[in-house]
């Protein structure tokens, strides 16, 4: 590797060392000025070594932090809104948090370049959330505090990746969860020398312990033998069981998009506290979530990353929630290409662009079938917006309250943008409860993953999530909000009434026919939400003593389906028609048994390729 770099790097740059750091290499030089004399030099090196390359100044040339701090402050324009500047000596980085990162970067990276040339420290720029976020602050502090441990982990990981790949003469996938069901999504990808998990979720909406977690014992591997976990997005049915891996011996990386890292930590911590509060007990603890965080490696859409010497992957937009990704896996030297769509939205939403349909190559695809049934057709998005505004206005006119159970990540923000556009001038307060406030703040940290118009508003300090109609409710305020005479809207997790603040509000509001319960997301087959949605008006519910009571539901019950983050049948078929290139085989997953089977038959008739709806515990040889 050093020889390859030295063939391209001018000797006057004074190369001191090369280090492996996970899937990338880092080169250290003493003369940074000489390096920057050729603006294409880092691209030339990356092409030569076929890896992502980072540049750092040798430790001997770094300006002392106290002096460097003054230099950095004087270089950044005051209007950038710098909130914090910290130094990370392990990675030779200066971490700059600002409200306007674009001004910290400068035109064509001019400000960043000046900081490196003046101080030697490599700038890492972070966007401040538009409203305070305890989770975001804790994640950033934790990442900085664990730098030494993280450096050792990345160095060891990088050395594993330079072992010669050898021949890859077979590829196998094993279905460990989320096949012919919704929940606990997990798939094992294996080659002669690689073992990679794609997602590792849990089903929080079941009381059956045998259906709650993936079949990890069916891997016939110790957790220490896993090379990597690739995470598609932050919902618990895809990420919720990853800390368990660290609790019982896994030491490898978790690859995900940057927003997915932050949102998954938020949801896992909430899951831990809810399960412990409900007396169920959680299969992992706080320390396991922190260990996971220190092992997470973030990758942007379109960035090719080596996972093992045999496997590399690229994330593509899935359109489902912030940072949600389709995983394109390139296995062997051109031997096979696999796309794992996870959850996709190929239709209009207020927040995100539709899922990508263009890939370099794809022989095999795993596609979700949540709404793959023959009758799973959603109404037009604009009609849904009008219908929700109408329900809210009618309920408020009757002096009632509208309870909308939402997933804290995705549906909550979608509803906020929609309500802001429809009722912001009507003096109707919208209370945001639970994690939705933190999740919304994280959305403002990553506007580049959002639709252009929302992105523009956040960059102009006019975030839709900060509109005055939204009022953040604490746990102490829930009773007074529910018992007040004030008509309002309440957005509260969980989205399936399987726990959380939405159930607390339901207990307090269900008796009054003036109130309304409005479902805007998928309701799992065994959940309280599905039972009420299906017409039950007397349901069992846990009281404050953790004993079952009967709850009468006198409030109005409405369902507006068009807000789902999943594609309906028409959108799924449109996605497949627009796929380029066409896969040779397609497997359906993430849907009820009948829907995955029916959707597989439909794809077979439409695309004339091999299709199948695998079951959990099936193993399929792809090559």
Task: Look at residue 166 and tell me whether its pLDDT is greater than 80.
Answer: no
* Structural tokens at position 93: 């980085």
Name the β-bridge partners of 433: 473
CB neighbours of 201 closer than 8 A, spacing ≥ 6?
177, 178, 183, 184, 185, 186, 214, 235, 236, 237, 238, 239, 240, 241
The answer to whether residue 215 sits within a structural domain is yes
Task: State the residue for tokens 């045999």.
Answer: 310
Of 303-317, 349-363, 545-559, the one with minimum mean pLDDT is: 545-559
The answer to whether residue 161 sits within a structural domain is no
At CA 299, angle to CA 351 and CA 171, rounded to 5?
A: 110
Burial of 38 by CB count in 10 Å (0-12 exposed, 13-18 middle, 19+ buried)?
Answer: middle
How big is the chain, counted in residues?
A: 623
Task: State the residue for tokens 């948090």.
Answer: 97
Q: What is the DSSP letter of 355?
A: P
Give the residue from 152, 177, 200 where a domain finishes.
152
What does the pLDDT read at residue 544? 74
Is the same domain home to 272 and 387?
no
Q: Are 311 and 196 in contact (CB under 8 A)?
A: yes
Is the same domain home to 464 and 536?
yes
At CA 233, angle to CA 231 and CA 238, rounded to 5?
A: 70
Q: How far apart are CA 142 and CA 88, in angstroms?
A: 12
* Structural tokens at position 323: 């940072």
* CATH code for position 249: 3.60.15.10
* Structural tokens at position 581: 């290139």
Q: Which domain holds residue 486?
A: 381-563
Q: How far apart are CA 429 and CA 486, in angstroms?
A: 9
Is the same domain home to 56 and 66?
no
* Structural tokens at position 399: 């002096």
Q: Which of 260-269, 532-541, 555-564 has the highest mean pLDDT?
A: 260-269
Q: How many CA atoms lie within 13 A of 518 on its CB side?
A: 30
Q: How far apart are CA 514 and CA 554, in angstroms?
A: 9
Q: How far apart are CA 590 and CA 599, in angstroms?
A: 11
Task: State the residue for tokens 């940290």.
Answer: 445
The answer to whether residue 158 sits within a structural domain is no
Integer distance in angstroms from the first to the last C-alpha of the chain?
Answer: 32
Task: State the residue for tokens 């090379």.
Answer: 227
| pLDDT tier at 523, thresholds 50, 70, 90 | confident
Q: How far apart are CA 574 and CA 346, in angstroms?
A: 8
| pLDDT tier at 425, thresholds 50, 70, 90 | confident
Is the same domain home to 250 and 262?
yes
Name the β-bridge partners of 338: 329, 364
User: How far from chain centre, in Å, is Cα 258?
Assistant: 8
The answer to whether residue 574 sits within a structural domain is yes
* Structural tokens at position 614: 């695998």
φ and ψ at residue 20, rounded to 5 degrees? -85, 135
Q: What is the DSSP code string of 577-607? A: HT-BS--SEEEEESS-HHHHHHHHHHHHHHH
Q: How many helices (H) and strands (E) does the chain have?
A: 21, 28
What does the pLDDT read at residue 567? 95
Q: What is the DSSP code string of 244-304? A: HHHHTT--S-EEE-HHHHHHHHHHHHHHHHHHHHTTS--SS-HHHHHHHHHTEEE--BT--
What does the pLDDT read at residue 206? 78
The pLDDT tens digits of the residues spanning 442-456 come to 999 999 999 999 999
Q: How many CA atoms lie within 13 A of 94 on its CB side?
A: 33
Give the residue from 41, 60, 79 where a domain finishes.
60
| pLDDT tier at 541, thresholds 50, 70, 90 | confident
pLDDT mean across residues, the chain: 93
Is the same domain home to 420 and 553?
yes
Of 57-71, 250-264, 399-413, the one with minimum mean pLDDT is: 399-413
Is the same domain home to 196 and 338?
yes
Is the same domain home to 357 and 228?
yes
Q: Are 332 and 169 in contact (CB under 8 A)?
A: no
Is the same domain home to 66 and 116?
yes
Q: How far apart are CA 278 and CA 544, in angstroms?
A: 10
Of 482, 487, 523, the closest CA to residue 391 belongs to 487
Burial of 508 by CB count in 10 Å (0-12 exposed, 13-18 middle, 19+ buried)?
Answer: middle
| pLDDT tier at 461, thresholds 50, 70, 90 | confident
User: How far from chain centre, in Å, is Cα 525?
Assistant: 24
Is the same domain home to 322 and 413?
no
What does the pLDDT read at residue 276? 87
Task: Look at residue 14 and tell me whether its pLDDT is greater than 70.
Answer: yes
Task: Look at residue 297 and tell me whether its pLDDT is greater than 70.
Answer: yes
Is the same domain home to 93 and 36?
no
Q: For every residue of 26-53, which 3-state class applies, written as one string? A: EEEECCHHHHCCCCCHHHHHHHHHCCEE
The answer to whether residue 191 sits within a structural domain is yes
CB neighbours of 86 closer than 8 A, spacing ≥ 6?
94, 95, 144
| pLDDT tier at 408, thresholds 50, 70, 90 | confident
Q: How far apart are CA 319 and CA 346, in angstroms?
A: 7
Residue burial 53-62, b: 16+ Cβ < 10 Å; e: rest:
bbbbbbeebb
Structurally, how many domains does the chain consist of? 4
Strand bridging mode 296-298 / 548-552: unpaired
Q: How far apart are CA 481 and CA 475, in angstroms?
A: 10
What does the pLDDT read at residue 167? 81
* Structural tokens at position 248: 């019982």
The pLDDT tens digits of the residues spanning 31-78 come to 999 999 998 999 999 999 888 999 999 999 999 999 999 999 999 999
> What pTM does this model have?
0.93
Which of 160 and 522 is assigned the larger pLDDT?
160
* CATH code for position 88: 3.30.300.20
The answer to whether residue 159 sits within a structural domain is no
Mean pLDDT for 437-441 is 92
Of 504, 501, 510, 512, the closest CA to residue 536 belongs to 510
The pLDDT tens digits of the residues spanning 185-223 come to 999 999 999 999 999 999 987 778 889 999 999 999 999
* CATH code for position 451: 3.40.50.10890
CB neighbours of 173 closer than 8 A, spacing ≥ 6?
187, 188, 189, 190, 338, 619, 620, 622
The answer to whether residue 160 sits within a structural domain is no
Give the residue from 563, 590, 610 where a domain finishes.
563
Is the same domain home to 140 and 259?
no
Kindly state the percentage of the chain with pLDDT values over 90: 82
The answer to whether residue 513 sits within a structural domain is yes
Q: Are 446 and 323 in contact (CB under 8 A)?
A: yes
Is the same domain home to 253 and 331?
yes
What does the pLDDT read at residue 165? 67
What does the pLDDT read at residue 253? 98
Task: Look at residue 237 and tell me whether its pLDDT is greater than 90.
Answer: yes
Q: How far apart are CA 551 and CA 364, in angstroms?
A: 48
Task: Look at residue 164 and tell me whether its pLDDT is greater than 90.
Answer: no
């Amino acid at each position: 590797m050093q020889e390859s770099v030295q063939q391209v790097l001018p000797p006057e740059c004074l190369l001191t060392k090369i280090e492996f750091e996970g899937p990338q290499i880092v080169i250290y030089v003493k003369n940074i000025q000489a390096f920057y004399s050729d603006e294409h030099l880092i691209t030339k090196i990356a092409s030569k070594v076929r890896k992502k390359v980072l540049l750092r100044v040798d430790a001997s040339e770094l300006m002392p932090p106290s002096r460097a701090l003054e230099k950095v402050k004087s270089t950044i324009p005051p209007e950038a809104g710098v909130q914090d500047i910290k130094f990370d000596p392990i990675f030779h980085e200066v971490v700059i948090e600002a409200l306007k990162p674009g001004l910290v970067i400068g035109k064509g990276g001019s400000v960043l370049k000046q900081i490196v040339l003046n101080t030697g420290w490599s700038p890492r720029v972070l966007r401040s959330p538009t409203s305070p976020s305890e989770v975001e602050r804790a994640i950033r502090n934790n990442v900085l505090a664990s730098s030494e441990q993280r450096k050792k982990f990345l160095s060891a990981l990088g050395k594993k990746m330079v072992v010669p790949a050898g021949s890859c003469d077979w590829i196998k996938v094993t279905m460990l969860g989320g096949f012919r069901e919704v929940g606990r999504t997990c798939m094992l990808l294996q080659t002669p020398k690689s073992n990679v998990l794609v997602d590792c979720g849990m089903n929080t909406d079941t009381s059956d312990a045998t259906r709650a977690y993936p079949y990890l014992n069916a891997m016939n591997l110790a957790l220490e033998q896993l090379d990597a976990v690739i995470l598609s997005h932050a919902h618990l049915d895809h990420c919720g069981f990853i800390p368990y891996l660290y609790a019982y011996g896994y030491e490898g990386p978790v690859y995900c998009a940057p927003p997915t890292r932050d949102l998954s930590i938020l949801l896992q911590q909430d899951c831990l506290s809810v399960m412990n509060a409900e007396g169920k007990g959680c299969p992992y603890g706080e320390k396991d979530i922190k260990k996971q965080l220190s092992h997470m490696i973030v990758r942007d859409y379109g960035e090719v990353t080596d996972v093992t010497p045999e496997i590399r992957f690229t994330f593509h937009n899935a359109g489902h929630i912030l940072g949600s990704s389709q995983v394109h896996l390139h296995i062997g030297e051109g031997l096979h290409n696999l796309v794992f769509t996870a959850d996709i939205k190929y239709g209009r939403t207020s927040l995100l662009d539709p899922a990508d349909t263009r890939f370099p190559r794809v022989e095999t695809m795993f596609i979700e079938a949540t709404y793959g049934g023959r009758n799973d057709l959603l109404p037009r998005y604009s009609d849904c917006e009008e219908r929700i505004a109408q329900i809210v206005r009618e309920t408020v006119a009757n002096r009632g309250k509208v309870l909308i159970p939402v997933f804290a990540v995705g549906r909550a923000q979608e509803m906020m943008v929609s309500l802001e556009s429809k009722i912001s001038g009507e003096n109707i307060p919208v209370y945001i409860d639970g994690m939705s406030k933190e999740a919304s703040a994280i959305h403002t940290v990553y506007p580049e993953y959002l639709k252009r118009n929302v992105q523009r508003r956040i960059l102009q300090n006019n975030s839709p999530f900060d509109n005055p109609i939204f009022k953040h409710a604490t746990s102490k305020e829930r009773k007074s909000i529910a018992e007040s005479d004030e008509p309002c809207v309440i957005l509260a997790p969980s989205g399936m009434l399987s726990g959380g603040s939405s159930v607390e509000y339901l207990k307090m509001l269900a008796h009054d026919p003036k109130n309304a319960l409005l479902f805007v997301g998928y309701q799992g087959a065994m959940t309280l939400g599905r039972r009420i949605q299906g017409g039950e008006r007397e349901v069992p519910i846990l009281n404050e003593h953790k004993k079952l009571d009967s709850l009468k539901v006198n409030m109005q019950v409405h369902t507006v389906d068009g807000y789902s983050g999943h594609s309906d049948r028409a959108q799924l078929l449109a996605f497949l028609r627009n796929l380029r290139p066409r896969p040779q085989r397609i497997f359906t997953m993430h849907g009820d048994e009948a829907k995955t089977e029916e959707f597989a038959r439909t794809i077979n008739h439409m695309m004339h390729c091999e299709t199948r709806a695998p079951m959990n515990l099936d193993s399929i040889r792809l090559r």
